[in-house]
Structures are given as C-alpha cells and as structure tokens.
Amino acid sequence: MLSAWLLPEHIADVLPADARRIEELRRRLLDRARGYGFELVMPPLLEHLESLLSGTGRELDLKTFKLVDQLSGRTLGLRADTTPQAARIDAHLLNREGVTRLCYCGPVLHTRPSGLNATREPLQFGAEIFGHGGLEADLEVAELALDCLHAARLSDLTIDLADARVLRGVLAGAPVDASRLQDVVAALSEKDASALEALAVGLPDETRHGLRALLRLYGGDEVLAAARSELPQRSLITAAIEQLEWTARHLRAAFPGLAIGFDLSDMSGYAYYSGLRFAVYGAGSADALARGGRYDEVGAVFGRNRPAVGFSLDLKALADLAPAVGAGRAIRAPWGDDAALRAAVRRLREAGETVIAALPGHEVETQAFECDRELVLLDGQWQLRAC
C-alpha cells in the first residue's frame, strides 16, 4: 500500500526557500513585461477539451490530461500550454482592433515529463503580441525574453534563430503528404542524414539538395550566406533569410554581449510556428531556457485569425538555474500583549519589514530568514538594535 504522503511521479512540492525564490523571480518577470506594456491575464487551469486542442493546439493532445465534467458530461482538459488560451481571450473577450499585449504566469500540466528529471507541472511564464504582423513585434518579444533572463541574473546567453518558412520553401511544389512531412521534420530535428536521404527519394533534385543542405546550416553568420547559395532561390526562403539578418542585427545592438547562432534545421514546433522562431540557452544548458516565435494561425479556430508572436519559459526550471539568494533580512521581536510593542511591530510590518515574533515557549525559527536586528525595550521605548 502506498503511503498517503507520496506524490505522483514527476510531481513535487515546492518548499519555502525554493518557493520564495520562484515567487521573487515571478514578480521581477511580470514587472519586466509590464515595462513593455503587457497586460496580465489569468486563464483557468481547466477548459473544454476542444477549446484547448483546437487548431494549432492539437499537437498538445498527448500532453493533455483529460477528465469528464460531472456537471455537463463534456470532456475537459487541464491545460498543457497557455498560448491557445491567450489567443481565445484576445479573439473573444477583448476583441480589440489594434495591438494587444498579454502576459501570464501559472501552472500547466503534462501527462509525461519532457526529460528524465523534468517536472510534469511546469510554472509557465509567457508573453504574446496579437495584431501586428511586422518584424517589430518579433523583435520586441525576443528582447523581452532576453530581458526576463537577465532579470533572473543569468549571463552568457546564446540565442538561436530559425524560421519555419525555410523548410516550407524547400518543400514547395514537392509531393510530400502529412505523414512524410512529419518524418522529414523528425529527421531534420535529429540531424539524421540517412533517414532524410531515404525520405527524399522520388523528390525533385532541387528539393533533395535543399534538404541535404539544411542539415549543415547551423552555426554563425556564415550560415545565412551558405543558405543563399545552397537553398532553392525561392521568395519564401529569401524573405526568411533577410528577416533573420534584420533580427540578428537589432539584437546585437540591444545586447552587445549576446551570442547569436542560426540553426535552419531546427524543427522544434514546426507545425506550430509560421515564421521566425528562437530559443535561448544559458552557459552549459542543454535545454532551452526560453522558446518563442511567430504563430499567426493560433487564433484562426476562434474566428479571429490575427498575427501573433510570443514566447514562454518554465519559471521553476529558471529559478533552479538562477544564482542563489541569501536568507531574507528580518527583525526578531518578543511576543507580548503590551500595546506599545504590538503597535511597534505593526508599524514595522506596514513599512515593509519582516518581523518574526517569538511565540511563547518556542525559539524563533530563522531557517529562511536572517534576523539581523531585534526589537527591544530601551528606556521605556521599543527600539531596533543590531543582533
């Protein structure tokens, strides 16, 4: 018999020190987003399944927990990603004509972990811009993602840029059905040359050559020059390369120490993204700290096919990588029913101080706090002094 206190696999409690670090980071990131003009929304954790999985959300089907609503008998889902919910809010609840900037921070649930040590309950922070199809919005989202990682005190960042239109341009006019396309995307993602060669059998020579070239097109600025000479001369590919160059130039100007790479065979989220996309990595991190890009079809199923671009990250994972913070500063105070003492404690707390009262018969617990001052009675007055 399992113990009642055991949690499901890849689900864990967040204990005080970690919870404080996550919460402080959450506030910093929300403040950064607000500085860009993003408005906070709080979508529900539970929705009708068809709303969560409609349109571009269908790829989340295997990640989504499903249950039956006891009130309506309809199938509900526990969200695995907040982006479709933000699109629904933009399309139906706000329904604005101009640009809408939305941000959010809340838990999502996954049926399976993304890695061996990953949680199935990430705390997803994200930001979305709806209503502007120009590169200015793509750049703003990438800059906010980088600013959020800097707010977590992370340095030595690398951003990898890619574009979903490159593969679409390579495959344009080729007889590739949905199943074959899925296999091609997987082979490119895994950089599996032999699998890609087998999948390219029967395709036009120009398409086969372009697919082979994609496997080699990752690295620095030389990638874009090579892409111009090795990929098919098609307007979709040319536009993607020019926009990658434009974005990289502006990111270098805004973040002089930022390392920028290009990986034109990066197919993560290929079915989801419609244009430029990016992934940000930290020093020594194998997994991306943040991912984002353009997904203009996200709102189509809600009846409002607006341009959309955004990014998201797992705040729990980010907090684990952020530099540790010391114990919070606090004031130790005795417990008592003296009116002047209680008034002094209230004043200090209203001023933003942490005041820990020693409950009768107990030592003050200071594991998460460093009591560097104490409230003492001196000359008939309650005063602070250094511990």
Q: What's the CATH code of the domain at 317? A: 3.30.930.10
**Digit-coded pLDDT (tens) for 323-362:** 877 777 899 999 999 999 999 999 999 999 999 998 888 7
Answer yes or no: is 272 a known binding residue: yes
Do 140 and 51 lie in a common domain? yes
Same domain flag for 319 and 334: no
- Is residue 131 domain-shared with residue 241, that is, in the same domain? no
Determine whether the annotation assigns residue 82 to a binding site: yes
The model scores a pTM over 0.85: yes
Least confident of 49-58, 60-69, 204-213: 49-58
- Do 164 and 113 have their domain in common? no
Would you say residue 116 has pLDDT above 90?
no
User: Quick one: 289 and 163 in the same domain?
Assistant: no
Does residue 199 sit within a domain?
yes
Per residue in 148-178, pLDDT (tens digit) is 999 999 989 999 999 999 999 999 988 888 8
If one counts every other C-beta atom within 10 angstroms of the C-beta of residue 6, the result is 8
Same domain, 13 and 132: yes
Determine if residue 128 is labeled as part of a ligand binding site. yes
Same domain, 247 and 305: no
Annotated ligand binding at 124? The verdict is yes
What residue numbers bound the domain in which 249 lies? 156-259
Q: Does any domain span residue 264?
A: no
Q: Does pLDDT of 303 surpass 90?
A: no
Point out the domain boundary residue: 294, 325, 356. 325
Q: Which pLDDT score, from 0 to 100, does residue 348 have?
A: 95
Nearest to 152 by CA among 286, 293, 21, 284: 21
Residue 366, in any domain of the structure: yes
Judgement on whether residues 321 and 332 belong to the same structural domain of the protein: no
Mean pLDDT computed over every residue of the chain = 90
Based on the fold, state whether residues 140 and 192 are members of the same structural domain: no
Q: Does 180 lie in the same domain as 138?
A: no
Q: Which residues of 90-109 are buried (b: 16+ CB within 10 A; e: fewer)?
A: bbeeeeeeeebbbbbbbebb
- What is the tally of structural domains in the chain? 3
Say if residue 13's pLDDT is above 80. yes
Q: Please check whether residues 139 and 210 belong to one and the same domain.
A: no
**pLDDT computed for residue 89 by the predictor:** 93
In a domain, 2, yes or no: no
CA dihedral 163, 165, 169, 171 (to 10 degrees): 90
Kind of pairing between the strands at 123-130 and 100-107: antiparallel
Residue 291, pLDDT > 80, answer: yes
Q: What element of type H or E holds 5?
A: none
Highest mean pLDDT among 52-56, 152-156, 186-190, 285-289: 152-156
269 domain-assigned: no
